[in-house]
Amino acid sequence: MLFAAKRKPKEKQKKLCVVRYGAWGDALMVSPVFKYYKEQDWYVILNCTQKCFDILRTNPYIDAFIVQEDGEIPLDKLEEHWKQLEKQVDKVVNFSGSIETQLLVSYKQPEFGWTKKQLDKRCNINYYDHTMKVAGFPEKTGEKGEIYFTKNEEKWARKLTKKHDGFNVVVCLTGSSVHKIYPYMDALINAIVDGIPDSHIFLVGEPGAKGIIDKHPQITDFCGKIDIRKSFVLTKHMNLVISPETSVLVAAGIYDTPKVALLSHGSKENVTKYYVNCHTIVQNVSCQPCHKLHYTRDTCPVVPDTKFPICMGLLHPKEIIPAIEEEYIKWKKNLLGVK
């Protein structure tokens, strides 16, 4: 466990510890709360995982970090750890399970067997609005994530846009679960490069995504080659983002960049309600949104031949292409100064 302080507390300043474990998307989801705590003059400490630290380390409203590795504290010891934190600070705000378990249920919870109607009633709440309520600011609705890029990160992204001055598209190939991968992304990308000759595709995702798409002069494969912050800064500077329901989509939702959101276990209310310039695409299947965390295909209805969840596996590229064409036409008209 690592403690890192960016600044010392002022004399008699009260200390607040925010607890948020999880991955990159979880970090973005909790990011709006810190500025409101600073407005109340708290000395803000974040107890987080390494992935959350990677995203939030430049947040100016966080004063110090307690960073722990995944699994460093066993699950049955976490309560004891949190009680120790409570003894060291004036207040602890714990976001563990605030989205997962509360708005997205796992197979370990009895709610996993609820009907869709029951789950919709409980879980169909915007993730940001729910986060602000847990934070103690229920009146702060419509928030978006906050990430503070370095000058070098911004410079790197701007340099890419100058090198490729066409219709630049970020495509996220992977997410953390089987329903966060679109199985026909190769066909969709081929349709883009064939139909839009002045387009350039930037692929982002885990290293395992390499090789999914054939090499092409209009495609730059960044999978496994750039860190997650660079993937996020691309969503700020490109002309379009296409992503399943994963952290890259959450990052894109911060900005006005046009985006195509391929939703799976979440709803428009949950995820994209406050996104600007967003085409929310949902496959019309009876279980969507399921509000469930699916770690394997065993707990999710799948397409027999591909074994992909039906919310992704039954989504044809032709249902996505019109949104891409619409944004390309807008970009082209703006480029030509046509109203």
Work out the average pLDDT over 161-175: 92
Which tokens sit at 156?
A: 């790197």
More confident residue, 23 or 324: 324
SS3 321: helix
pLDDT over threshold 80, residue 162: yes
Q: In this structure, which amino acid lies at residue 170?
A: V
Q: Pairing state of beta strands 2-5 and 64-68?
A: antiparallel
pLDDT in tens, 130-158: 999 999 999 999 999 999 999 999 999 99
pLDDT per position as a tens digit, 181-193: 899 999 999 999 9
Residue closest to 160 by CA, chosen among 206, 211, 204: 204
Mean pLDDT of 70-74: 87
* Separation of alpha carbons 73 and 39, rounded Å: 32
Q: Is residue 201 very low, low, confident or very high in pLDDT (cuts 50, 70, 90)?
A: very high
Percent of the chain with pLDDT over 90: 82
Helix (H, G, I), strand (E, B) or coil at 113: helix
Neighbours of 53 (CB within 10 A): 18
Q: What is residue 69's predicted lDDT score, i.e. its pLDDT?
A: 87
Q: Please report, for the chain, the start and end positions of each structural domain, with discontinuous segments joined by +.
A: 2-96, 151-336
pLDDT computed for residue 210 by the predictor = 52
Determine the pLDDT at residue 180. Answer: 87
Please give the helix or strand (H or E) that residue 219 lies within, else none: strand 219-221
In sequence order, which residues have a C-beta less than 8 Å from that of residue 286 and are 6 or more positions away? 116
CATH class of 2-96: alpha beta
d(CA 45, CA 34): 10
Model pLDDT, residue 208: 61
Q: Yes or no: say if 95 and 37 are a contact pair by the CB < 8 Å rule.
A: no
How high is the pLDDT of residue 335? Answer: 84
Rounded-to-integer distance, Cα 86 and Cα 82, Å: 6
Higher-scoring residue by pLDDT: 195, 295: 195
Q: Is the pLDDT of residue 337 over 90?
A: no
Cβ contact 182:245 at 8 Å: no
| CA 330 to chain CA centroid, nearest Å | 26
**Mean of per-residue pLDDT scores for the chain:** 93
Asked whether the predicted pLDDT for residue 296 surpasses 90, the reply is no
Task: Provide the sign of the torsion angle of the four alpha carbons 193, 232, 99, 70, taken in this order.
Answer: positive
pTM: 0.95
Q: Quick check: 209 pLDDT over 80?
A: no
Largest CA distance in the chain: 65
pLDDT tens column, 211-262: 567 789 999 999 989 999 999 999 999 999 999 999 999 999 999 999 999 9
CB atoms within 10 A of CB 11: 5
The mean per-residue pLDDT over the stretch 105-111 comes to: 93
Could you say which DSSP state residue 309 is in? B
Q: Is the domain covering 151-336 a CATH 3.40.50.1100 domain? A: no
| Rounded Cα–Cα distance for residues 108 and 70 (Å) | 19
